[in-house]
Structure formats: structure tokens, C-alpha cells
Amino acid sequence: MGVDYYALELDLTDDGPNIQEVLAELTGQRTVPNVFVNGTHVGGYDKTFQAYKSGSLQNLLEDRIDDTEVYDYDLIVIGGGSGGLACSKEAASLGKKVMVLDYVVPTPSGTSWGLGGTCVNVGCIPKKLMHQAALLGQALQDSRKFGWECDEQVKHNWDTMVEAIQNYIGSLNWGYRVSLREKTVTYLNAYAEFIEPHKIKATNRKRQETFHTAQTFVLATGERPRYLGIPGDKEYCITSDDLFSLPYCPGKTLIVGASYVALECAGFLAGIGLDVTVMVRSILLRGFDQEMAERAGAYMETHGVKFIRKFVPTQIERLEEGMPGRLKVVAQSTEGPEIVEGEYNTVLIAIGRDACTRNIGLDKIGVKINEKNGKIPVNDEEQTNVPHVYAIGDILDGKLELTPVAIQAGKLLARRLFGGSFEKCDYVNVPTTVFTPLEYGCCGLPEERAIGEYGKESIEVYHTLFWPLEWTVPGRDNNTCYAKIICNKHDKNRVLGFHVLGPNAGEITQGFGAAIKCGLTKELLDETIGIHPTCAEVFTTLEVSKSSGKDITQAGC
Amino acid sequence: MGWEEKAVRGYSEFVQAAEQSRGRPVFALFCGDKDAQGRSWCPDCVTAEPVVRCELNSMPDGSVFIYCQVGDRPYWKDPNNEFRKKLKLTAVPTLLKYGTPQKLVEEECLNRELVHMLFTED
């Protein structure tokens, strides 16, 4: 190109190693060549060659500034979870210069984790694996009825399970780092805060600060568990952030909360043989279909999980230190002066999650948040009130807190920003599943909301109880698994809501989620021939409506 | 720079070398056997070795680098060989940090930045 350049050979300067350290902190790049043009960091060999091919290298050399200022990056993503990683990788694959920052503030107990966000480290992944551990325990019991002869009492080893799960999570953390490097996304393990509209300060765990600018920002900082705000909560209690890597078996556990986190944790802890109590302030699974929530809860109760309903803890005291120790919990009724006390080895708080939006400098740049819950209102293109700042994932106000939603939103956002696409994320009819001991899968509206939106006379609910074939031989609960669909009478009996309580509910629901996207109706379901013998086939032969009042108790096949 | 190399052949020699290095960071590169002329039957291994060797100086002080020849091609292709069963290796070349889930497989080993990342980052 005939351009003069200055080359500083780091292996030939005394200060080389120091310079290399500083370069790494400034740019996230440890290797050489590390290229700067007119003060702007370009990157290593690959990025420089890419800039040469795309013409931006020439722009930099000629100090050519069009309407836009020259920023360090095209895109900075704050948060390396499901949404953040999907968005940054997509933007990089579209040829953009991207940085992603991820930082885990340790829990009060000191727990921390690697790249990947909540889902991978302290959410969906370890949850489902522990749920599986519990299901296998049940399967071992059932197996005797099928002829497997096992004399010994089967016990569960907490440490073995946690080690195996953490090992798998470690490989995922590593996999994400390799993936980001391969896609030339710059990754910084640092806490990001806005200091100016296009500039952030990044602080790593050694408290070193670096500064970075970008044309566009995406907030994907996710949430953390909320505490009770009573004496002893942060000092003695744990949350889901701590549970999945707990270096000792939690023992006799009290779970405070009625969220799906609370019920799922209670479920698998009881499933591996622990003494579990759930303390619920009011209703189970707020926001979900309440009939289904109560049925899921009832199953847990008949299978050994104790419920203390309409109480809230007021005080946690430590009686004995240890791993686990012994804690005393005092709780107050929500309906009167009654007090209950209990002793537990572990208290797990699962009353909700708060968005990580309060301490990242959003006030400095004018991004509006919902003061009540800290979440960020966005338009249907995930744009905040500040045009160059977007947000995705759990922190969105009024949107679903699910990994696949964040991933989809992140990918589509990147494609709209940099790929010339116009496709927006569809938040309607997203299927989901609660992995309680008896799983609950759903897509569409809860019955209460369908009644509220369409009116009771406009909807027809078809339902049935069913007995999975695999449960017959071991003599497991009959008339417990339940299926229902909610249909719109004024629109060809279009399925507005799909609900199933039974084994493998997630696997069952996924397909119906696609069918609902295609406009599934009761007639189409009836025309579909079932697969026999399965649980899912009940949806192809639903006959009894709630309005008819007919009995759905099963006598047997 | 303070690091040490051990060259081994076969699974038992590898385990022995790893055990002897307890308490120190251990990195291992698994390749197909080399013939009398010093060329491995695995072409990616031939390309990966110099890339990895270039970065050895960035390993932490006190590290041990184990260069392990896994065996001949038929041994490697056997799905029940000890490396596949006990170490969960799926391909050669594999470069890994022993005792952690961190590893690079096949073309990843040819990427100098990834090798550097494996050697230097937690």
C-alpha cells in the first residue's frame, strides 16, 4: 500500500513483556502483531487483513471520517449469557468488529462462575441435569417391578453429581471462549459501566480499568436472585446461584418461594432423598395457569415435599456452623398473628430475580428503566429510549425470561443492525416447560387469561386425565397426569392454550408449539392420528369439555 | 522460561507422566505415531505440532508439556482404545490442559491464538 509504518518488536525491547500485558488489557488481544492506525486499534493479522479488504483500513489511514465518528468497535455487548453471546457471534459473522464483556459479581457466599450466563452456569443446564438425577432415582425404584433385581438400598451421592455437572459446565464455558475467539469477537472478563453515550469503562477482577467505545450497544446483563431483606438472609441463606456448585449436600432444606425455580429445586432435592419444605407466601407459579400449577404442586406434596402455605420468613438464625450447618427459621402468617418456627440445614431463597441494570451507568446516558423492577422497556425492535442502545433477554420489561427467546432476539437484532434484515422477534405463543417432578409443559394462554381476553362463553376447554403406560406396571399414580387445550369457539376452535402435566412434558410440548404457530385447531388435532402407546396421543382424542361437566377419571385402558 | 517436556508413547506411559507431574500445570498434545523418518501418519498432527511448539514459551512457569504418541492408525481407529475410553479423546491432534475440561481438537490446534489462550488463560 506504500504506507509508512512503525514496528515495535516486543521481543527486542526490554519493556516487551510489560507492553504486551498493557496491550492485552487495552485491547483484549495478547498476540502479535497488534496493529494500531492513527491511534485506533485495528487488531491482529486477521482483523487487519479484513479491514484492508473491506476498505475500512484505507479510511483509517486517510483519517476519513464520514458522518460517523470512528469508534473502537461497531458493537459492544454487555453480558455474555444466552442473549449476549448469540448477538455478538451473529454480528461478528456479518463482518462487524465486536466486543463482549461478561463479569459475575460473586454471591454473598462467594460463589462465581465462567462465561455463558445464567442458563449454562446456574440455570437451565444444571437444573435439568439434577432433575434427571432425581428421575433416575425414581426409575431405579420402578425398575424392580420390571424385573431388575437389586438387593441394596440405593443411595445418592451429592458430591459425585455436582462434580460431574460442574465438569460439563466447565467444558461449555471453555467451548464458548473458543467459539468467540474463532469468530474474532473480543471477550473481556470485566464489569462494564457507561461513562459517556458511546463509551464504557471496564473493570476487571484485579480492579484495572480500560475504556472502550462503540457505535452501538446491546445490554444483556440478565438477573440475579432477590433476597428477602430480613435478618440473616444474606449471611446464612443460599440461592440458586450457590446450589448447583454447593460443595456439600444441603441436607434438610427449606425453600422460600413459589417460583418455578423454587418448585424445580424442591422437586429434585426431594427426588434425591432430602427432607424438603417449601414456604409459599400466596400462589404457586404466578403467571402460569393456576389449575396446572396446583396440580403440579399437589403431585409434589403426595411425593414427600412439605408445603407451608401463606407464611413468610421474618428471621433466620444460625444455631450451628458447618457444611451444612443448622439454621432456625421464624415465619409469620400472611393472614394473622400466627408464627411458626423450624430448623433446617439449608435455607434456599427463590422468591424472584432482579435485573442487573442499576449499577451500569444507564442513568448517565439517559436509558430509561422501569423503576419498580429495574427492567428495561423496549420497542418491538429491542431498542431502548436511547437510539444506539438496545437490550435483550431477561432484563426486558414485559417479555419472557427464557434462553431461547434471548438467543432468538439477539440473533435477529444483529441481523437487523448489520445484515439488512427486517425480521423481528416473535414473542407470541412461546412454548415452555417447568421441570417439576411431574413436568408441566405449555404453549399459549393460561385458562384465566383466555377467559379474561375472550370471555368464558367464547372459549371451550377440552381436558382429560391420563395414565402413562410406563406407570401401570410399577403401580404409580393414576388419574394424576392431565392434559387440556383451550379453544376459541369463534375462530374454528383455534387452540389458544396448550397444557400438559406428565412425564417428558418438554419433549411433548415442543411439537405442539410449532403446530400452534401454524394455527392449530381442535379439528386438526382430531384429524391427526395418535402415536400409540404414548402420552402425547391423548391430544388427538380429546372428547370431554369442561363445560359438559362429564367425569374424566380413567378406569384403565 | 521454566517448563519441562516429557515424551511418551501409549496410554500407560501417559498416565505415569501425568501422575509424576502432580501439582504442576500439565498440558498434553496427542498425536499419531511418527515413522522412522519422524512423520506422523496423521496429517493434521504434522501441521499442528510446530504451531503448538511455537507457543510453549507462553505456558506458566513450572508447567509440564507431555508430547504423547497415541499409537498407529488401526489402534487409533478402534473405538475402544484407552485414550477414547478413559481420556474421552475424540480425535488427533488433541491439545489439552490435564484435569480441566479445556481442550482443543483438530483444526483448533492449528490456530495459534487458541493455543495461546489454552496455555495462558484460566
3-state secondary structure A466-477: ECCHHHHCCCCC
Residue B70 contacts A, CB cutoff 8 Å = no
| pLDDT attached to residue A11 | 80
Asked whether the beta carbons of residue B117 and residue A44 sit closer than 8 angstroms, the reply is: no
Residue B89 contacts A, CB cutoff 8 Å = no
A214 is in an annotated binding site: no
Chain B, nearest residue to A179 by Cα: B114
Any catalytic annotation for residue B54? no
Q: Which residues of A touch B113 (CB under 8 A)?
A: 31, 44, 181
| pLDDT attached to residue A58 | 72
The residues, any chain, with a CB within 8 Å of residue A101's CB and separated by 6 or more, are A76, A77, A78, A79, A80, A187, A188, A189, A190, A191, A192, A200, A202
Q: Which residue type, as a one-letter code, is found at position B19? A: E
SS3 percent helix, strand, coil of chain B, rounded to 5, is 40, 25, 35
d(CA B77, CA B84): 10
Grid cell 460442574 in the structure block, residue: A166
Q: What is the ipTM of this complex?
A: 0.88
Whether a cis peptide bond, with omega within 30° of 0, leads into A404 is no
User: For chain B, what is the largest distance between any 2 Cα atoms, rounded to a whole number of angstroms?
Assistant: 39
Cβ distance A548 to A481 under 8 Å?
no
Task: Give me the mean pLDDT over the B14-21 stretch.
Answer: 95
| pLDDT attached to residue A167 | 95
The CB-based long-range contact list for A395-401 (8 Å cut-off, 24+ gap) reads A395/A219, A395/A220, A395/A221, A395/A222, A395/A223, A395/A355, A395/A356, A395/A357, A397/A370, A397/A373, A399/A427, A400/A427, A400/A430, A400/A432, A401/A223, A401/A353
Asked whether the beta carbons of residue A174 and residue B102 sit closer than 8 angstroms, the reply is: yes
Q: Between β-strands A223-225 and A353-355, what pairing exists: parallel, antiparallel or unpaired?
A: antiparallel
Nearest to A84 by CA among A176, A199, A208, A214: A176
Task: Give me the mean pLDDT over the B8-33 stretch.
Answer: 95
Output DSSP code: residue A439. -
Stretch 93-112 of chain B: residues touching chain A, C-beta under 8 Å:
100-104, 108, 111-112
Grid cell for residue A498: 396448550
- Does the pLDDT at position B47 exceed 70? yes
Cβ distance A243 to A348 under 8 Å?
yes
| pLDDT attached to residue A18 | 83
The residues, any chain, with a CB within 8 Å of residue A440's CB and separated by 6 or more, are A288, A292, A293, A295, A296, A433, A434, A499, A500, A501, A505
d(CA A76, CA A167): 30
In chain B, what percentage of residues exceed pLDDT 70?
99
Chain A, chain B: beta-carbon pairs less than 8 Å apart: 31
Of B100, B101, B114, the CB nearest to A181: B114
Mutation for testing the B interface, residue in A46, A113, A120, A174 having most B CBs under 10 Å: A174
Would you place residue B2 in the very low, low, confident or very high pLDDT band (cuts 50, 70, 90)?
confident
| pLDDT attached to residue A62 | 65
Distance from CA of A294 to the nearest CA of B (A): 41
Cβ distance A12 to A20 under 8 Å?
no
Distance from CA of B45 to the nearest CA of A (A): 19
Residue A44 contacts B, CB cutoff 8 Å = yes
| pLDDT attached to residue B74 | 94
The CB-based long-range contact list for A318-321 (8 Å cut-off, 24+ gap) reads A318/A232, A318/A235, A318/A236, A319/A343
| pLDDT attached to residue A55 | 66
A143 is in an annotated binding site: no
Cβ count within 10 A of residue A51: 21
Residue B82 contacts A, CB cutoff 8 Å = no
Residue A45 contacts B, CB cutoff 8 Å = no
Taking chain A (557 residues) in runs of 10, the rounded mean pLDDT of each run is 79 81 80 81 81 71 61 97 98 97 96 97 98 96 93 90 97 96 95 97 96 97 97 97 98 97 98 98 96 98 97 97 96 97 98 96 96 94 96 95 97 96 94 98 97 97 97 95 98 98 98 97 97 97 96 76
Asked whether the beta carbons of residue A170 and residue B102 sit closer than 8 angstroms, the reply is: yes
What's phi and psi for A282, nearest 5 deg? -135, -90
Residue B120 contacts A, CB cutoff 8 Å = yes
Q: Indicate the SS3 state at residue A543.
A: coil
- Does the pLDDT at position B51 exceed 80? yes
Asked whether the beta carbons of residue A30 and residue B114 sit closer than 8 angstroms, the reply is: no
A352 is in an annotated binding site: yes
| pLDDT attached to residue A12 | 79
Gyration radius of chain A's alpha carbons: 27
Cβ count within 10 A of residue A35: 20
| pLDDT attached to residue B79 | 93
